[in-house]
Amino acid sequence: MAAYGALVSLMHIIDRLEKHPSPPISIHKQQLESLTQNVTFLQKFLDAYISPVVDDHEVDPLERRIADAVYAAEDVIESQIVLQIENQSTIRGKMSSFIKLFGAWCKCATIDVNAAEDFYHDLQQVIEEMNSISTAADQLQRKVSSTHAASSSTVIKKDVLEIVAAAQLPRKVSSTHAASSSSVKESMMVGFKEVLLEVLDKLTGGQRSRQIIPIMGMGGIGKTTLARHLFEHALVKEHFDICAWTTISQTYNVGETLREVLFQASRDSGSDLNEVELGEKLYKYLYDRRYLIIMDDMWSIEVWDKIRSSFPDCNDGSRIIVTTRLSNLTSQLRESYGVGMKFLDEASSWDLFTNIVFGGESFPHELENIGKNIVANCKGLPLSIATIGGLLAKSERAREYWVRIEQNLNSIVITNNDEFCLKILRLSYTYLPNYLKPCFLYMGVFEEDRSIRASMLKKLWVSEGFLKPVSGKCLETIADEYLKELVDRNLILVDKLGEFSGNIKFCKIHDLLRDLCLKEVEKERFYDIIEKSPSVIDNERRRVVFQNVGRGVISEVSRSLSHVRSIICDGNSFVRPHNFRLLRTFKAYDTDIHQYGDDGDHFLGDVFQLVNSRHLAVRLHRKSKFPSSINLLWNLSTLIVKQCTFHESWDMIRCSIVLRWPDVIAPIEIWKLHQLRHLEFVEDALILPDPPSEMVIMENLQTLRRANNLYLNEDVVKRIPNVKKLHLLYRSEEMESLSELKEMERANCLTYLECLSKLENFYCDISDRISKWDTIEGQFRSLKLLELDRCSGLQNWTMVESSHFPLLQELRLRYLDELEEIPSEVGEIPTLKSITLEYCSESAVESAAKIVEEQQDLYGDQLDLHVRVLLWDRDERLQSLASPNFEVTVSG
């Protein structure tokens, strides 16, 4: 719901102005009170309001009017903010003499007075419109209440009653009511176990020649679920030498498909190879190996024709599974055997539904008949059953609510399967709590079949202003809860979990649900996706996404984007970001999308002109420098920067010539970014200066990634008290210019880590400056991941008690070639799940093996600790230490 998201966003702006130590503008007290009252009232109104508009293609006029008014308020306020910042910047930047300074001050003062008057007038107009809307909403609310009390039998009043009844139903539920994600995953195979066994037989038996097995059926029927179960089946893993999975989709890329299969098969990314070379290398690697390749979501025979020569047929029983919505693909693939996925029968549908909604609990008798009617209207489509089940699993066990769902289902007229499914799925969106709707709609921003990094998604939700603040919780925690709730409702799919944390690391959205997102987005004008050809952007589009478009298209469209608040152009060559005065989110770089060449690289001086920014993710031009104007970005919450390593031809890349540019030096003004939450440099490092004498606490900062030679003294750690992820580098060659005393201070600065009580993830590359490390009690109270990299001088690590790391889950040690041993107390940490050693000393490897042996004696088969060791050379003595909990691999 665009209106609700807009209200939350406006409240964020107001709150940040009020709480910022040096806000660029102030709002008249009476206007501020009116705005706050209107926003608060309209949020509560929408929480109790379900639109009477039932047409899928029509937007509710009241919600549209609310959204338009809120957007107008944002425009007035943020335009004034930008104007004020630009005026202040002009005065500071231009003047040198007193006379010029005085004259400019007088001129700007006159401009400021006029601008302030215009601002007051424009904002008052918006407030009057919001007052009018609030009055109308209040009257509607009173009418609904009085109609409900009178219990009139007229059709109009009955419709109002239905709206109120649905809106007033509580939707809170205890965790015992909902099935877990793992149980849902198992439930999804209800009714398909016979098919699973049938395909297993075809995979592991039958003809010796290579065989293609198409799995066919409509969207949501369970093709991918069946393929995933086959892919993960123990018998399959044992039978095949190589198993790989790739998603084709409608907008396939032959090179990326081959590269993905090659990487999964051999761990070779083939990043320096073209399509032909990739195909040849994949063919050679697969030759004489029994392989299973699953190609998910194939839409045409053309893609197979382009890649088929890369998959050898060595008469060893290799198999290729293809999932497709196209029933005629079997004949085109010239395969006699195919699996046609059918709708679930009545019994299987009921089993799936009950497992998802109630898990192992018994079905309440008073809901059974209603539940069976709901399941019957899903017509045996697993995705529909799972999605509606996910909705009801998160709802109160109230008969009235279930009746409402049943009535909506019964009113649907079936046209064709895909359209019917979208109408079914739309109910899950309709009955989503308002606070989740903008987050769900945002999923359509990402390309079809995209594996979406959860941490990146949550940062974007924060910057877009979707998340309603909750007392005592940071916005990232709220975002994490929203993501989990959408997963529990089967609206977002978990693609990968953290190996030890169990948190969602990557997620996806089903094609049909993405289609639903895009339909709702188009109706509500929530954002605009530009694909392949220019599009006219109207002033009501606040967010623009560029996908698979050239630089010319971007340049043409960009001329009409002065009003836009968000631009997402991952992997596209975006022109210099100018004339976007009100832009909040500029995402032109993604760590999960490979981009080569210097098209799309930016100068920080250009990017930092976007003074209204909240989220900036860019690749730097090699000549870019950090300007002092960063302090103008009063509202910046996320800054992600990749400093490009090379800008030459593909020949240079293929020859493995890598140029390292100097680290970026930040100005002292960076310490004044009050709202900054995430400061991340990718690959190269950022040099942070010592903070200014004036005390400005960056209480929102949670991530500081790849800071070089940061002097962690008492003053610095006080500035960043809430950091959770800290990645530090200390390079000896850059410290040699310091005085001996200063160098010693910086080398011992890690003792101040005990002041960072919320630190969860700590990475340190400290060159050869440590020859000893003594951990102490209370230093790492919240730490879950510790990674020491290239600490070549570290010899002795002393640790008296395992309680020094009370929450540690994962320890990674890389290039510690002088470390004598890992303290035995490490093995006694009860939460520790994993130790990884890469290219460390023999004695360190032996000490890790000893830790495993000691813990094995205590816990036997119940031991939950796993050690992975990577060696340079084949050392038979160290390899002989291998055991089920101690894995040894030789590089190359």
Segment 634-639 shows an average pLDDT of 94
β-pair partners for 773: 797
Q: What is the mean pLDDT of residues 478-485?
A: 94
pTM: predicted TM-score of the whole model, two decimal places: 0.81
- pLDDT tens string 311-361: 999 999 999 999 988 777 777 887 667 888 888 889 999 999 998 898 878
pLDDT in tens, 837-885: 999 999 999 999 999 999 988 888 888 899 999 998 877 888 888 999 9
pLDDT in tens, 656-678: 444 455 678 889 999 989 899 99
Task: Look at residue 744 and tell me whether its pLDDT is greater than 90.
Answer: no
pLDDT on residue 741: 46
Stretch 33-56: mean pLDDT, rounded?
85
Please write the tens of the pLDDT for every residue from 15-30: 999 888 888 888 999 9
Looking at per-residue pLDDT, the higher value among 541 and 221 belongs to 221
Tokens 């509710």, located at residue: 60
178 vs 486: CA distance, rounded Å: 13
Q: For residue 104, what are the contacts with CB-CB under 8 A and spacing of at least 6?
A: 90, 91, 94, 95
Residue 150 backbone class (left: φ over 0; alpha: ψ -120 to 50; beta: rest): alpha
Within 10 A of 773 (CB to CB), how many other CB atoms are there?
A: 18
Residues forming beta bridges with residue 687, ordered by sequence position? 665, 708
Which tokens sit at 3? 């209106």
Q: What is the pLDDT of residue 743?
A: 54
Residue 259 corresponds to which tokens in the numbers above?
A: 């590269």
pLDDT value for 554: 77
d(CA 680, CA 763): 13
By mean pLDDT, which of 94-103, 135-144, 612-621 is the weakest? 94-103
Residue 208 has pLDDT above 80, yes or no: yes
Q: What percent of the chain has pLDDT over 70?
A: 82
C-alpha–C-alpha distance, residues 478 and 460, integer Å: 13
Which distant-in-sequence residues (6+ apart) come within 8 Å of 237 by Cβ? 243
Task: Tell whether the model's pLDDT for residue 164 goes beyond 50.
Answer: no
Rounded mean pLDDT of 693-698?
Answer: 86
Q: How far is CA 589 from the centre of its chain?
A: 14
Judged by average pLDDT, the poorest of 82-96, 500-514, 646-660 is 646-660
Confidence of residue 651 (pLDDT cuts 50, 70, 90): very low
Distance CA 824, CA 646 (A): 44
Confidence of residue 100 (pLDDT cuts 50, 70, 90): low
What pLDDT sits at residue 600? 63
Amino acid 147: pLDDT: 60
Mean pLDDT within 602-629: 86
Tell me the pLDDT band of 745, cut-offs 50, 70 and 90: low
Does residue 156 carry a pLDDT above 60? no
Phi, psi (deg, nearest 5) at residue 704: -130, 105
614, pLDDT greater than 60: yes
Are the C-beta atoms of residues 319 and 215 closer than 8 Å to each other? no
pLDDT of residue 96: 46
Mean pLDDT estimate for the chain: 81
Check residue 170 and give its pLDDT.
29
Residue 581 has pLDDT above 90, yes or no: no
